[in-house]
Amino acid sequence: MRIYLIILLLGIPTLLSSQIQSVDTITIKDALDSNFIVTQIEGYEGRSRYRSIDGGGFYFGQCITIAIGNKGDSTFFIKVPVGSILRCRDTLIQDMIITKSFDFALNPRQNRGYLIYAMCGEVSDLGPHMDVFYDFGGMAEPKVISIAQFIEKKDIQDKIGQYAMWAVRNNADTTKLMSYGASYEELQMVVNYITEVGLTTNLTEQIPPSIINAIPVAEVIEEEETKDDFEITTLTFILLGACGVLLMGVVYLGTTRKRKQIV
């Protein structure tokens, strides 16, 4: 009995190891290129049977549905990176840029569907909607990946993020973005974000970044620390001065009492 127990205990790690190794981590592009999975990517217009990742969406935000099916007998852990491009089959509709990465497990012969975060990537074309289909097109241009990563990091999955995407990918200027409803204050925010990423566009040449955002973060921190030091030093001098005045008052009162006693 003891021998069987030892064999069982020794066999468990091997069994677990073999199960772990059977789950391959793979990007969605590699999975598609290897013909492991099949996808159907469609515009979303407020109606979908798929569950959202963490909210809702329309023409930006969660505005694309993606259905993924595992064609084989292996379990895959699929990774979809931010900055991926979805190329529309209809040339009148904008290509989309994924602005929030996600990953999920896909078991053998399993199909899963999601709503995913994306933004329009061709400012002069139409937006996504149902019955408009896309193909996964790999990664976008480096500068587009940079702004998409920034949008994900700062969680600006809104019209401000969309303006920033158009400004970077399509070099949309003030006239173009204002025709889509952008205010000057909103464009100032966009310029500040693009400048923070380290990119230059037509928009950043038209509108300079605001002063507070033009100062490097390190300099702002140093200035705040200097200001704090100055405030602490000033407060220290005031307290010391007050203590000195109080001490002089006590000494004066003591001396006065002694003189009265002598008289």
Which pLDDT tens digit goes with each residue over 226-259? 444 544 445 455 556 655 556 566 555 555 555 5
Q: Write down the pTM of the prediction.
A: 0.69
CA distances from 253 to 177, 200, 241, 247, 256 (A): 75, 71, 18, 10, 5
- Which residues does residue 120 pair with via DSSP β-bridges, in sequence order? 96
Domain ranges of the chain: 24-214
Structure tokens at 173: 């200027």
Which pLDDT tens digit goes with each residue over 67-89? 999 998 999 899 999 999 999 99
SS3 118: strand
Query: Is pLDDT above 70 for 139?
Result: yes
CA 86 to CA 135: how far, in whole Å? 6
Range among 107-116, 143-152, 248-257 with highest mean pLDDT value: 143-152
CA 37 to CA 76: how far, in whole Å? 9
CA 247 to CA 252: how far, in whole Å? 9
The 3-class SS string of 193-234 reads HHHHHCCCCHHHHHCCCCHHHHCCHHHHHHHHHHHHHHHHHH
Report the 10 Å Cβ neighbour count for 260: 8
- The pLDDT confidence band at residue 122, using thresholds 50, 70 and 90, is very high
